[in-house]
A and B are shown apart, each in its own frame.
Chain A
Amino acid sequence: MNLSFAFIDWGLIQSFILKGFIFSVQLTLVAMVGGIALGTVIALMRLSGKKWLVLPAAFYVNTLRSIPLVMVILWFFLLIPLLIGRPLGAELSAMVTFTVFEAAYYSEIMRAGIQSVPKGQVSAGYAVGMTYQQCMRFIVLPQAFRNMLPVLLTQTIILFQDTSLVYAVGAYDLLKGFEVAGKNFNRPVEMYLLAAITYFVICFSLSMLVRRLQKKIAIIR
């Protein structure tokens, strides 16, 4: 077997890979921002102590965490058109799916983060006359976010890896870009290898950054 990468030039990258890369990044960012926002709400619901909020939130998290992501992607791809009456397209459908799915995982991280804030902080907030909302907004959540930042970012790296699973509904992501290029140039082996290297370089450098951040935060605490 002789590998040859001579056929790769800027044109190939631009016309096949870049498009997929941009979608993968978009999907990751949308699901991260949406997932953390929704996840925080769900975490607050689970910690609210009110049964009618705790139960649905727990159900949401436990259900999504026990179904394979691929099945969740397929479910949404099947159900969204039935609910809104028209097809949404694989790309948009993936964005909804990942936001909803990742929210379950982010919410567990946020829950741990909120619980990591000492109780005295909340008591202090009440003592100076803050309401529950103000306590959460100005005292607990900012600290929870900072304590959990490394874990949230690690989850985001996993999320970026998981975006490759949109393969199941045929959305054009980074992996698909490599695959299509491989088919067009009849060099699938090289392209899969390059895909692996690309994902590795991105995820490894990001996780190194997270590790450095973690050390910095550890000193502040």
Chain B
Amino acid sequence: MSWDWQVFLQDDGSGRTYLRWMMSAWGWTLLVSALSLVVALVVGSIMGIFRTTPVKALVWIGNAWTELFRNIPLLVQIFLWYHVIPSMFKGLQQVPDIFAVVIALGFFTSARISEQVRAGIQALPRGQRYAGLAMGLTLPQTYRFVLLPMAYRIIIPPLTSESMNIIKNSSVAFAVSISELTFFAMQAQEETSRGVEVYLAVTFLYFISAFAVNRVAAVIEKRTQVPGMIGGGK
């Protein structure tokens, strides 16, 4: 077989080249991933913290949340937010499609982040919590000033791989026709029959995106190092 990279300069029928379409698809992938990451970090942190509090009801909520969103496939969750929830609550039908994907991907990942946040907090010596409380800090203050600053530093590596997973998982958005990279790959493959070139380019873009996240996380990890602590410098 022979290469035909000029396929990217062809018109896709709407006045733009496939290259431009692919770049805009890349933008969608990054946008969906970034928004989902924000949702996942916020919700995952709250649920993870809940699971380490002494309040039984909060522990139960955190556990239930984690089990619920961890045990349903992402694709099915996307369909839930796209088809099922809007049909139950009429007001949600005007919301753009991308929100269904962001919520689904965000909540799905929040279950995994809640596991890591919990593990990070539990990795700290128990005395830290007691010391905070003994000093007269309230429970929220103990979390804010004693536990969380260390816990988050410990879990930067697993959070990095979750962020890279989000970029990979955003590919599932093709199923509800979000014009992201995978959706572009399928459409362009069908229209041009130059599947190998199209898939290679798309795969390459996924590579770069994941690699970029990896580098950014490495910088954050370095910047936030505490000398002498677990994973910190000397």
Residues of A within 8 A of B (CB): 1, 66-71, 74-75, 78-79, 82, 157, 161-162, 164-165, 167-168, 175, 188-189, 192-193, 195-196, 199-200, 203-204, 207
Contacts and interface: CB of A to CB of B under 8 A. Distances in A.
A42 B203 CA distance: 23
Given A75-B199, A195-B79, A196-B77, A70 B182 contact: yes
Interface string B43-81: 000000000000000000000000110111111110110
Nearest to B172: A70
A165 B172 contact: yes
B202 A71 contact: yes
B72 A200 contact: yes
B203 A67 contact: yes
Sort A-B residue pairs by CB-CB distance and give the 10 closest, nearest first: A68-B171, A203-B71, A161-B73, A68-B168, A164-B73, A70-B171, A78-B195, A204-B71, A164-B75, A192-B79
Contacts of A164: 73, 75-76
Nearest to A208: B67
B177 interface: no
Contacts of B71: 157, 161, 199-200, 203-204, 207
Contact of B76 (A78, A189, A196, A204): A196
Contact of A78 (B67, B72, B171, B189): B189
B210 interface: yes
B210 to A, nearest CB: 5
Contacts of A207: 67, 70-71
Given A189-B84, A193-B84, A167 B75 contact: yes
A66 B206 CA distance: 8
Nearest to B207: A66
A78 B83 contact: no
A189 B83 contact: yes
A71 B206 contact: yes
Contacts of B87: 1, 189
B175 interface: yes
Contacts of B79: 192, 195-196
B219 interface: no
Contacts of A189: 83-84, 87-88
Contacts of B164: 66
Contacts, number: 103
Contacts of A79: 196
B1 interface: yes
Contacts of A66: 164, 168, 206-207, 210
Given A66-B168, A66-B206, A68-B206, 10 more contacts: A67-B203, A69-B168, A161-B74, A162-B73, A167-B75, A189-B83, A193-B84, A196-B72, A196-B79, A204-B67
Contacts of A78: 189, 195-196, 199
Contacts of B67: 204, 207
B90 interface: yes
Given A71-B171, A200-B68, A200-B71, A192 B83 contact: yes
A1 B84 CA distance: 10
A74 B83 contact: no
Given A71-B202, A75-B199, A204-B67, A195 B174 contact: no
Contacts of B168: 66-69
A71 to B, nearest CB: 6
A37 B125 CA distance: 40
Nearest to B199: A75
A161 B70 CA distance: 10
A175 B195 contact: no
Nearest to B77: A196
B202 A192 contact: no
